Amino acid sequence: MKIKSVGEILSEERISHNVTIEFLAKKTKIKQEYLEYLEDNQFEKLPSAPFIKGYIKTYARIFGFEYKPLIAVLRRDYKESAKGKLVPREFIKPVLRQKITWNPMTASVMIAGSIFATLALFVIYKWYIFNRPPLLVIYSPDENGEVSSQIIVEGKTDPESFLVVNSQPVTLQPDGSFSTQILMPREGITTITIESTDKRGKTNLLQKTVRVKF
């Protein structure tokens, strides 16, 4: 189905109200030839884009329809040039991409670029691995959970890390998992601090806030 242009829509609106283009020109004080150019989509023969939008708004005011959808259609089909004229988008020349000519030199450059990109990604990955803190996951207690005076702290970290819970060293299992018990002598809200430090000196610190209730 053909999509109607701005000019066609304006022409149909005028004709549906049994208004001649001569009468409309007298009523709006717009030159008759301008109205003819407008309905024929000959925008290059009209003044700048703001005037054309103004003509569309005039049609909308006289014939009682919403002008904004027509402005949207106008933007769909035309682009405003540096001089303010409306230019069909189909005539706007895109920037032509230079065709790649495949030859031994091009192939060598592409291969070298791929190798460089791979090495760069490898270096970035190694840098991340070296600088990231050790793994540290806490399974219990839950954040803001209610606990007794004897709190079981369970979790997992890197197997070769040094782990402390509230400044007390904790023995790790071969897979890095741990479970330890700490004693809280008073009721109320308290914070448990778990800190894991690997051989590089990188530290990961987590804290759990709990409510102690006897």
Give the percent of the chain with pLDDT over 90.
55
Q: Are 54 and 43 in contact (CB under 8 A)?
A: no
Q: What are the sequence ranges of the domains in the chain?
A: 6-91, 136-212
Tell me what pLDDT residue 81 has: 82
For domain 136-212, give its CATH number from 3.20.20.370, 1.10.3720.10, 3.40.50.11540, 2.60.40.10.
2.60.40.10
Same fold? 6-91, 136-212: no
Tell me what pLDDT residue 147 has: 92
| Domain 6-91 bears CATH identifier 1.10.260.40 | yes
pLDDT digits (tens, 9 = 90+) for 120-179: 888 887 787 778 889 999 999 999 999 999 999 999 999 999 999 999 999 999 999 999
pLDDT digits (tens, 9 = 90+) for 59-111: 999 999 999 988 988 888 888 887 888 888 765 444 444 455 667 777 788 89
- DSSP three-state, residue 142: coil
Beta-bridge mates of residue 146: 211
Comparing CA positions, the residue from 161, 163, 136, 166 lying closest to residue 151 is 166
Continuous segment of H or E residues that includes residue 56: helix 49-63
pLDDT digits (tens, 9 = 90+) for 6-39: 889 999 999 999 999 999 999 999 999 999 999 9
